[in-house]
Structure 1
Amino acid sequence: MIEDFAQDWPAPTKPRPIVLIGAGGIVRDAHLPAYAKAGLKVAAVAEIDADRRAALARDFAIPRTHTTVTDAVAAHGNSVVYDVAVPPTAIQPILRDLPEGAAVLIQKPMGSDLANARDIRAICRDKHLKAAVNFQLRFSPMMMAARQAVEAGLIGDPLEIEVHLNIFTPWTLFPFLLPMKRVEILVHSIHYLDSIRAIFGTPKAAFARSMGDPRAPGFAQTRTTALLDWGNLRRGVMSINHNHQGGRKFQSAWFRIEGTKGAMMVKLGVDFDYPRGEADELWFCENGGDWRQVPLTGSWFIEAFMGPMRNLQRFAAGEDARLFSGVEDAYETMALVEACFASLEVPAVPLDLS
């Protein structure tokens, strides 16, 4: 039964302390609350902004602070796990400053484009880093259960995976996105593309259209349509609109997953009334049967953020055989993102109206 699947990544037996590199909003709002809930200790934070560094250390009782990555490495070496939560353009130089063989969790996306991702992968290989990317949605209780249900054959042969969002996202909360040429797919729908890969495997090809909206002035893209191609059996569709102005009544944020024997629906609760959000939901139905709701142990925010760090800690200690969101796997998500962006330049087939 789907209710029997584990929804949380197991905790490490002997966790290492964590050194944060970066003290931005995602660290404050998700990483630190998740680590506290998981019983993981934070030893230090490295941040160039003195006020932000001091405020984070004060608010979360972090015992040490460092102004640079070099200082942090000199103080802690390989006795810790590094949590790199910085903008994508800052990832490469930080990785180069980490010690050989370090354990490191890298904030998504894995660089700004596929060339960055390839460079990040090369650095990790050259330095033998135990490196994972924080694609945490695939670690959420709902997605953990959904993935295992597919792997166990509960829905039969996988046929359909669709992501449908019609929501209102307050883009003014993210002014740092204004100068970026790649926005919606790279910073938001990348989560969905990564989870699609985790559940259905990596598609062979992709086609997408992503565009701006006058209701979100200044942002390069806030609406996306994507088609994912595995061949003749599996179908993948993604329809994303962040600008719905009609209130809650007809908003939606769901994964639909169907196979020859059954179907699942996954509600992405955090997308409603962001950042307050609603509860996540997972529903399962065998063909011809009734829908039933699967109890969840937590949500995408914040419980999912425990998973990547737990997996990395266990891998570094030899308790896990692989990194579920390691850089080698994350590179395939970046390749899928790149294919979507590249397809924006491919013209559609014009109608023959002769």
Structure 2
Amino acid sequence: MSALHQSWPMPSAPRPIVVIGTGGIVKDAHLPAYRKAGFTVAGVYDTDRARAADLAREWSIPTVFGTLEEAAAADAVFDVAAPPVAHAAILSALPEGATVLLQKPMGLDLVAATAIRQVCRDRSLIASVNFQLRYSAMMLAVADAIAQGRLGELVEIEVHLNLVTPWHLFPHLIPNPRVEIVSHSIHYLDTIRALAGDPKGVFARSYGHPSSRLADTRTTAILDYGETLRATLSINHHHDFGRRFQDASFRVEGSEGAAMVKLGLLLDYPTGEPDELWLAAKGGPWEQIPLQGAWFPDAFVGPMANLQRFAAGEDATLATHVEDAWRTMALVEACYRAATAPATPIPTE
């Protein structure tokens, strides 16, 4: 039985990276991943100069740019890790034809995503979005198992979360009218698209919670893939009753085999537990597949490697190109629109 592909190949001649935005995700994921991969971070920029300088000292980054214009003048690949509301303006300041990775989401709604896509088109940017879950070792392995035919015809994809997410770590989400799907479940929607393609439609509901000031933190969704493949999400971020029945799983079943993924990062986030991948052939035992990396930070290597290889002509496809990322945003938009649709009344007679 052949081994499963778990990592993206590296560019043969990596270019230096300039990071725009120095928030927690950069410190916790981008920079650790880039150091591990051997990428050079040539400089950072943030509107908060002091924060950028502190991060540069901590990570031995040689340059802290004073303005966005100075950062944009660098001969580098740009990693835009700023809030999505700033993406269009930052992209407009970059050189035409620049190579750029955008932190997800691609705007907060489809209108913003469409505007971002248009800026990329107008400026001929080689741009992708950092939907990194599909690049994780566990999900690349699942995708390879599907491609090898180990699972047969797909019949089930289920994402099930029942856990506690420390939303207090993300106070910037409080004013947003949309939270859970566009900021969290977007990862699962994008990964399901990577595994199964685009659904024909969606049924969805999102809910708030009495303990939270956020607009929505729980989601139920069914993706319509026709008569054979059932794809569902059941997401609850408020199961605050101990670890025993908490769960963070991604289940993929086919006619000939099945895969179970444990999203360990989400259990006791941000400390997390180890990710896990288990495979079983029909009629056979479950086998745990050793993983070559974790979702955080290792999966953040893949989007940058794919982007640089695509820009250099080494990859024929940019998996999370802004054009493909727009399709993920369209699915997010469809979920929110479905959430406002009236339920079918129950007959009374």
**TM-score normalised over the length of structure 1:** 0.97
Aligned equivalent of 2:288, options 287, 290, 293: 293
Please name the residue that 2:231 is paired with.
236
Q: Could you give the per-residue CA deviations for residues 92-136 of structure 1, whole angstroms, max 9, x where no partner exists?
A: 000011101100000000011111111111111111111010000
**One-letter amino acid of the structure 2 residue matched with residue 10 of structure 1:** P
In structure 1, the residue matched to 2:304 is 309
Alignment equivalent of 1:283, drawn from 274, 278, 281: 278
Q: State the secondary structure of the residue aligned to 1:26.
A: helix
| 1:199 aligned to which of 188, 195, 198 | 195
User: Which residue number corresponds to residue 91 of structure 1?
Assistant: 87
Distance 2:284 2:241 in 1: 33
Deviation at 1:46, TM superposition (A): 1.1
Do structure 1's residue 124 and structure 2's residue 120 form an aligned pair? yes
Instruction: Please name the residue that 2:168 is paired with.
Output: 172
Say if 2:78 is the partner of 1:82: yes
Q: Does the alignment pair 1:182 with 2:178? A: yes
Name segments (4+ residues, structure 1) moved above 4 Å: none
Mapped partners of 2:138, 2:344: distance in 1: 38
CA deviations 1:201-244 (Å, max 9, x no partner) are: 111101110011012x2111111000000111111100000000
- 1:140-189 CA deviation, whole Å, 9 max, x = no partner? 00000001111221111111100000001111111111111100001000
Spell out, residue by residue over 1:279-301, the C-alpha distance to the aligned partner (whole angstroms, 9 max, x if none): 00110011111001011001101
Query: What is residue 58 of structure 2 aligned with on the other side?
Result: 59
Q: Give the C-alpha shift of residue 264 in structure 1.
A: 0.6
Displacement after TM superposition at 1:67 (Å): 2.6
Residue 145 (structure 1) aligned to one of 141, 146, 150: 141
CA distance in 2, matches of 1:47, 1:245: 36
Q: Alpha carbon RMSD of aligned pairs, Å?
A: 0.9
Shift of 1:68: 2.2
Alignment of 1:341 with 2:336, yes or no, is: yes
- 2:33 alignment partner in structure 1: 34
Residue 49 of structure 1: aligned partner: 48
What SS does the aligned partner of 2:333 have? helix
For structure 2, list consecutive stretches of 5 or more residues without a partner in the other structure.
Answer: none
Aligned counterpart for 2:251 among listed residues 252, 256, 262? 256
Secondary structure of the residue aligned to 1:90 is: helix
**Percent identity, aligned pairs only?**
58
Does residue 321 of the first structure (1) align with residue 320 of the second (2)? no
Report the residue type matching 1:314 in the other structure.
Answer: R
- When normalised by structure 2's length, the TM-score is 0.99
d(CA) in 2 for partners of 1:193, 1:286: 25
SS in 1 for 2:265: helix
Structure 1 counterpart of 2:263 = 268
Look up the match of 1:331: 326
SS in 2 for 1:208: strand
- 2:215 aligns with 220
Q: In 2, distance between residues paired with 1:126 and 1:10? A: 30
Amino acid in structure 2 at the alignment position of 1:296: L
Equivalent position to 1:246, from 231, 236, 241: 241
Structure 1, unmatched stretches of 5+, are: none
